[in-house]
Amino acid sequence: MKKFALAGNPNCGKTTMFNSLTGSTAHVGNWPGVTVDKREGVYKKCPEPIAIVDLPGIYSLSPYTSEEVIARDFIMDEKPDCIINIVDATNFERNLYLTTQLMEIDRPVVVALNMIDALDKNGEKIDEVTLSKRLGLLVVKVSALKETGLEELMNVAYEASKKERKSTTVLKDGPLGHLIGDVTIALKGQNIDNPLFHAIKLVETDEIEVRSHAKAFEVVEEFKKVFKDELFGNDLEAIIADGRYKYITTNYSPTLTKRRQNEAEMTSSDKVDRVLTHRIWGIPIFLVILFAIFHITFSTNFLFLGGLFSEDWVSCAGTAFEGVFGEGGISSPGVTLQSLVVVGADAVMSLVESGLVAIGSPDWVVGFLVNGVLEGLFSVLSFVPQILVLFLLFSILEDSGYMSRIAFILDKFLRKFGLSGRAFMPMIMGFGCSVPAMINTRTLADEKEKVATIRVIPFFSCGAKLPILIGIAGAMAVSFGIGNADLVTYGMYLLGIVVALVCVLLMRNTTLKGDLPPFIMELPTYRMPQFKSLMRLLWDKLKHFIKKAFTIILASTIVIWFVSHFSFDWQFLSDEQMDMSILASIGKFIQPLFTPLGFGSQCGQWGWMFVVACFMGLLAKENVISAFSSLAACIVVANPEIMAMDAIPKLIAVTGASPAALIAFIAFNMLTIPCMAAVATARGEMPDKKTFNFTILFWLVVSYSVSMMVYVIGTAWWTVFIFAAVIVVAFFIIKAFFKDKDKKAEVKA
């Protein structure tokens, strides 16, 4: 099968084009660095099917980061039959810089002038016929988003792929051109593929090239000596870059007719930026927006209208609307959706229960299916609406281009902790799922910054941990009458962020010291988030979630029910006897470990359920709440008041777990070793086994100590001073220790 590669700058629309051509649903986002790995699909409208490969964005063929290496290696080693170079027409000149490099490869290259729709809107025009002549490449105008010109592009590329293409370069003039010409001939003599391309890279003294063509580089050094006097200075990389830009401005730029712009006129993007990226207000605005997101998703007192409606009015609306008009307030859209799912789930459960009873099923079957399986499943599924709402709102922020600006504003702030603004994007992605977030750290050039970022990504609480937060926060509101779920959740998210920052600061000052590269990230233009791509994202997320629910979560729930209803000598146990089960015995054995965190031995006979939930979370974080709920639902106690309660409040009542212990429980699960999938990803992205092992230890230590702090401070608030003092002293000791070590290392060197 023929293979066409999509190559271009970050954010020029490669993935959008890929999706349009192949009907895939790969993630499109309005910020550089969304695609960090290559992806393949098939285009079927040419005479033969064609494999299309979406590559990470690159500015040049000299890679700095691992995603760039992926793109370059593919282009150089896998020899695609045609390279489709996507050029963002609204960023014309800068995008052509890469084009001048792609044309130096002996491969068919076709230029796709993308975002023509946006160019039109700006009132600008490109003369593609002249441009094509001057480039010596075929040019097709397209809009990947509006799906115009794509068929023509593919036909042109298909025809081009049948012919050989000889490389050309814009660096032909002067002594530089001469030098490149001579080196090319020398490389040709050595039978090296793509002699022109390698010649230029060798003249640039590109690190990777010099390593892989050591012999040829000696020749270059000789040539360089000959031309020494004719070349100004020695920074050939800069001279070459300059040569390319000069050529672009004199030959290609004139094909673009710009709109005559009033000097004082600002684009609307600039106007918006004046407010949103304000030096002082930028960060507060961001925090308010974040809170608004949590409020829309979790609040049971939407827009704080609670006081406006009298109790009578609410009760008059009837119980059917209980979810919409919560106690004394209106539910936010997220909570409203959730309560609808809960109503549905409850109906299904009681239907199944009465059905089973009617056909005379034994008690244990009813218990197993209703309390064990359904309760566990629904406890997770009922949070899906809120996860989706949260995810949707975050996606809108990303797609509009706002998040990239926050990365930009936060760069200075993050630098104080030893991270660059670039690390912000993967961290924010962590709110969705740690797995893609960890993979996205490939955009970070510094290895140590990458390791530090991967370690703290799980602290940015992911979608699967959300049910733990809301489930417990909601149950706390019921049991103790405290807190609105949005405040508790927002607070827990902030706790995760603070812990992440402190840990990064510590690591970057001790084991992961390193210099930060300067932060260069272009700000994408503000764009209207695309409804289609948002819906696609949500649909993907929903599918993923449902799949997980009916595989790993369902299986875990069933296993848990069995090991909690059999004793070691394989005696079947009823719900009342559950605390003699296999699971209970193991849980009780480990339970004391969690006593300092508040949900250990002090929780008595049923406290092992907390322990079991934590362990089940290692498979998938949704398991924490499903295991918890299905076990708790089985608790049968004499007290009729407790019997009528929901699963988690019931457990809180029988264990006497305090609010501080419950918050500590959330904190522990949020910060501890993430799920299996994330652990495997972290292993793959880490440089070596030792770093990985240390990472696991790091997660355990951090979760345990932070959670203990939460519990102790929550129990006796004045201990906060003791902890603060200990932390400050510890920090200085560690810092001094590492300074000493550095000095010794310096002396040795």
Q: Which residues contribute to the site for Mg ion (CB under 5 A)? A: 14-15, 34-35
Amino acid at 332: S
Question: Tokens in use for 19?
Answer: 């999706």
- Residue 110: φ, ψ to 5°: -125, 135
Task: Determine the Cα–Cα distance for residues 611 and 605; give it in Å rounded to an integer.
Answer: 12
Question: In the complex, what is the shortest distance from the CB of residue 33 to Mg ion, in angstroms, rounded to a whole number?
Answer: 9
Taking the least distance from each CB to ligand GDP, the nearer of 132 and 530 is 530
Radius of gyration of the chain (CA): 30
Question: In the complex, what is the shortest distance from the CB of residue 453 to Mg ion, in angstroms, rounded to a whole number?
Answer: 20
Taking the least distance from each CB to Mg ion, the nearer of 14 and 650 is 14
- Residue 111: φ, ψ to 5°: -95, 125
Return the residue matching tokens 């566990």.
Answer: 376
Question: In the complex, what is the shortest distance from the CB of residue 112 to Mg ion, in angstroms, rounded to a whole number?
Answer: 14
Taking the least distance from each CB to Mg ion, the nearer of 29 and 674 is 29
Question: In the complex, what is the shortest distance from the CB of residue 651 to ligand GDP, in angstroms, rounded to a whole number?
Answer: 45
Taking the least distance from each CB to ligand GDP, the nearer of 101 and 169 is 101
Q: Which does 73 bind (CB under 5 to 8 A by kind): Mg ion, ligand GDP, none?
A: none
Helices (H), 510-593: 531-548, 554-564, 582-590
Task: Determine the Cα–Cα distance for residues 180 and 172; give it in Å rounded to an integer.
Answer: 8
Q: Which residues contact 9 (CB under 8 A, 6 or more apart)?
A: 32, 57, 58, 59, 88, 91, 94, 95, 98
Q: Which residues contact 200 (CB under 8 A, 6 or more apart)?
A: 104, 169, 171, 180, 240
Instruction: Find out whether 169 and 180 touch, Cβ atoms under 8 Å.
Output: yes
Taking the least distance from each CB to ligand GDP, the nearer of 488 and 521 is 521
85: which strand partners? 7, 111
Angle at 369 between CA 368 and CA 374, to 5 degrees: 120
Output the residue with the shortest Cβ distance to ligand GDP.
13
Q: Which does 11 bind (CB under 5 to 8 A by kind): ligand GDP, Mg ion, none?
A: ligand GDP
Q: Which residues contact 405 (CB under 8 A, 6 or more apart)?
A: 273, 276, 277, 282, 523
Taking the least distance from each CB to ligand GDP, the nearer of 143 and 299 is 143
Question: Tokens in use for 8?
Answer: 């271009």
3-state SS assignment for residue 309: coil
Helices (H), 591-621: 608-616
Q: Which does 117 bind (CB under 5 to 8 A by kind): ligand GDP, Mg ion, none?
A: ligand GDP
Question: In the complex, what is the shortest distance from the CB of residue 29 to ligand GDP, in angstroms, rounded to a whole number?
Answer: 5
Question: In the complex, what is the shortest distance from the CB of residue 276 to ligand GDP, in angstroms, rounded to a whole number?
Answer: 17
Q: Which does 527 bind (CB under 5 to 8 A by kind): ligand GDP, Mg ion, none?
A: ligand GDP
Question: In the complex, what is the shortest distance from the CB of residue 537 to Mg ion, in angstroms, rounded to a whole number?
Answer: 14
Q: Which does 12 bind (CB under 5 to 8 A by kind): Mg ion, ligand GDP, none?
A: ligand GDP
Taking the least distance from each CB to ligand GDP, the nearer of 13 and 600 is 13
Instruction: Find out whether 494 and 474 touch, Cβ atoms under 8 Å.
Output: no
Question: In the complex, what is the shortest distance from the CB of residue 88 to ligand GDP, in angstroms, rounded to a whole number?
Answer: 8
Taking the least distance from each CB to ligand GDP, the nearer of 432 and 714 is 432
Task: Determine the Cα–Cα distance for residues 106 and 81; give it in Å rounded to an integer.
Answer: 11
Q: How many CA atoms lie within 13 A of 42 on its CB side?
A: 5
Q: Which does 399 bind (CB under 5 to 8 A by kind): Mg ion, ligand GDP, none?
A: ligand GDP
Question: Tokens in use for 537?
Answer: 């994202």
Question: In the complex, what is the shortest distance from the CB of residue 110 to Mg ion, in angstroms, rounded to a whole number?
Answer: 19
Angle at 44 between CA 137 and CA 24, to 5 degrees: 95
Q: Which does 376 bind (CB under 5 to 8 A by kind): Mg ion, ligand GDP, none?
A: none
Taking the least distance from each CB to Mg ion, the nearer of 20 and 184 is 20
Q: Which does 145 bind (CB under 5 to 8 A by kind): Mg ion, ligand GDP, none?
A: ligand GDP
Instruction: Return residues touching ligand GDP (CB under 6 A).
Output: 8, 10-16, 28-30, 34-35, 57, 114-115, 117-118, 143-145, 399, 527, 530
Question: Which of 425, 431, 402 lies closest to 276 in space, CA to CA?
Answer: 402
Task: Determine the Cα–Cα distance for residues 721 and 707; give it in Å rounded to an integer.
Answer: 16
Question: Which of 109, 139, 106, 92 lies closest to 7 in space, CA to CA?
Answer: 109
Taking the least distance from each CB to ligand GDP, the nearer of 147 and 575 is 147
Question: In the complex, what is the shortest distance from the CB of residue 86 to Mg ion, in angstroms, rounded to a whole number?
Answer: 10
Taking the least distance from each CB to Mg ion, the nearer of 66 and 556 is 66
Taking the least distance from each CB to Mg ion, the nearer of 15 and 62 is 15
Q: What is the DSSP letter of 50?
A: E
Q: Which does 484 bind (CB under 5 to 8 A by kind): ligand GDP, Mg ion, none?
A: none
Task: Determine the Cα–Cα distance for residues 322 and 308; give it in Å rounded to an integer.
Answer: 16
Q: Which does 194 bind (CB under 5 to 8 A by kind): ligand GDP, Mg ion, none?
A: none
Question: In the complex, what is the shortest distance from the CB of residue 71 to ligand GDP, in angstroms, rounded to a whole number?
Answer: 11
Question: Which of 90, 509, 4 lies closest to 269 in space, CA to CA?
Answer: 90
Return the residue matching tokens 């859209």.
Answer: 333
Question: In the complex, what is the shortest distance from the CB of residue 140 to ligand GDP, in angstroms, rounded to a whole number?
Answer: 13
